[in-house]
Amino acid sequence: MSDDIKKGLMGVIVDETSISKVMPEINSLTYRGYAAQDLCANCNFEEVAYLILNKELPNKKQLLKFVKQERNERKLSKTLLNVIKEMPKKSHPMDVARTAVSVMGLEDKETTDNSPDANLRKTMRIFAKTPVALAAFYRLRKGKKIISPKKNLSFAENFFYMCFGKVPQKDIVKAFDVSLILYAEHSFNVSTFTARTITSSLSDIHGAITGAIASLKGPLHGGANEEVMHMMNKIKRPENALKWINNALENKSVVMGFGHRVYKSGDSRVPTMREYFGKVAKIKKDKKFEKIYDIVEKVMIDRKNIHPNVDYPTGPTYHLMGFDTDFFTPIFVISRIIGWSAHIIEQHATNKLIRPLAAYNGSHYRKVSQIKDR
Ligand code: CMC
């Protein structure tokens, strides 16, 4: 293959963005200039969502307005609720999220308006309704009654409440909130690039987010947090971890939750999420997954110099919180809707159709023969 071909667009800078900056050389990630770990320590998810969408941290009044808007948009239409009720119970919740956003696009009065204000209003609707749609499916497939959202609960509390019927202790909610902050935005990753590519033809935000969800589902991207849990369940006990990971490396397997296209010496989000994983494990009095985590991580770094990415600690954290494994990537979705939307708005503001070239390596020129002669 010619050196001119940048397979996977590796190392290619395709555009500018003012939303987030990934700095692998100093292991840092900033949203609108603020370090993600600083935001985790000092803000809740709603404040960070506001920041990503509106470029500045909110003051009290702005935050109240934003929170109110989100809470007022949580209700699902009858049509969407019926669609969710009719979905096969075995559907992957990522497909449920994708379909739900697509249905929202059919219903939204502003679907074809790509102005920044309309896109912000649509973002709030998608942001508010997607967790409600997912939680409804979470309950329905277990044969349980749907729990309606509550306006006096925060975004994170409300998600727990709609899935489990109760809000856990505040340290668990904080750990979940931190995971949402860390998942909210990460520059030109594959799902965001998908959203920007769809937007570049001047298509709409519902279509772009629908495509982004499909992209996030894959195990090389967001789907990795589910795969991490499958791996941990296969390992089962800390005593098995060393043998398991050594075998995996002998067999040249891809170990989920490790490696990154941009970070080569560690994902800046991991230390923060690792800390909260530890807090949740302590509250739940279950150290098994932490022990497995540490053993696998050590071997991956010692033998391969490959470091964990953010999906490695989020997987077992969500498990300890009580979520079904196939809901881990949908949790990523309810947060990343914010990053995707900011990128969609930015793409519209500075749009150029995304249309790369390919080097052709198929058949030489040939003439069509008649069907009787083939
Ligand atoms: N397990 C084993 N070997 C790995 C891994 C891994 N997780 N990641 C990279 N490598 C090896 C890979 O085999 C290759 O070795 P060699 O040069 O001998 O062929 C080398 O490291 C370079 O890897 P690559 O796949 O060419 O690098 P990439 O930039 O194309 O891939 C990646 C990045 C994330 C797709 C890859 O690291 C991977 O498949 N990781 C597992 C899936 C995963 O955890 N994805 C989450 C990504 S970050 C958070 C998110 O987006 O959700």
Choosing among 1.10.230.10, 2.40.10.350, 1.10.10.10, 3.40.640.10, the CATH entry for 224-321 is 1.10.230.10
The residue whose CA is least distant from atom 22 of ligand 1 is: 259
The residue whose CA is least distant from atom 32 of ligand 1 is: 260
Q: How far apart are CA 91 and CA 96, in angstroms?
A: 7
Q: How far is CA 232 from the centre of its chain?
A: 20
Q: How far apart are CA 299 and CA 285, in angstroms?
A: 25
pLDDT, one tens digit per residue, over 196-216 is 999 999 999 999 999 999 999
- Index of the ligand 1 atom closest to the CA of residue 332: 52
Tokens 């904080």 correspond to: 174
Looking at the chain, which residues constitute the CATH 1.10.580.10 domain(s)? 18-219+327-349
Please say whether the beta carbons of 337 and 211 come within 8 A.
no
Tell me the β-bridge partners of 28.
Answer: 23
Q: Is 260 in the pocket of ligand 1 (CB under 6 A)?
A: yes
Q: Is 310 in the pocket of ligand 1 (CB under 6 A)?
A: yes
pLDDT of residue 1 exceeding 90, the answer is no
Please say whether the beta carbons of 155 and 167 come within 8 A.
no
The residue whose CA is least distant from atom 20 of ligand 1 is: 259
Beta strands in the chain (DSSP E): 20-23, 28-31, 34-35
- Index of the ligand 1 atom closest to the CA of residue 253: 2
Tokens 């790509």 correspond to: 114
Q: Is 259 in the pocket of ligand 1 (CB under 6 A)?
A: yes
Q: How far apart are CA 320 and CA 279, in angstroms?
A: 11
Top mutation candidate among 216, 227, 258, 305 for ligand 1, by most atoms within 8 Å of CB: 258
Q: Fill in the DSSP letter of residue 8.
A: G
Tokens of 218: 């894959």
Tokens of 134: 């997912």
pLDDT of residue 362: 97
The reported pTM is 0.97
Q: How confident is the model at residue 326 (pLDDT cuts 50, 70, 90)?
A: very high
Mean of the pLDDT values across residues 339-365? Answer: 97
Mean of the pLDDT values across residues 13-38? Answer: 95
Closest CA to 188 of 343, 52, 362, 333: 343
Q: What do you get for the CA distance between the two ends of the chain, in Å?
A: 32
pLDDT, one tens digit per residue, over 149-206 is 999 999 999 999 999 999 999 999 999 999 999 999 999 999 999 999 999 999 999 9
The residue whose CA is least distant from atom 23 of ligand 1 is: 259
Q: Is 261 in the pocket of ligand 1 (CB under 6 A)?
A: yes
Q: How far apart are CA 215 and CA 193, in angstroms?
A: 9
Q: How confident is the model at residue 27 (pLDDT cuts 50, 70, 90)?
A: confident
Q: How confident is the model at residue 349 (pLDDT cuts 50, 70, 90)?
A: very high
**Cα 342 to ligand 1 centroid, rounded to whole Å:** 27
Domain 18-219+327-349 belongs to what topology? Answer: Citrate Synthase; domain 1 (1.10.580)
Closest CA to 226 of 305, 298, 323, 301: 323
pLDDT, one tens digit per residue, over 74-132 is 999 999 999 999 999 999 999 999 999 999 999 999 999 999 999 999 999 999 999 99
Tokens of 48: 């960070």
Q: How far apart are CA 242 and CA 261, in angstroms?
A: 26
Residues in the chain: 374
Looking at the chain, which residues constitute the CATH 1.10.230.10 domain(s)? 224-321
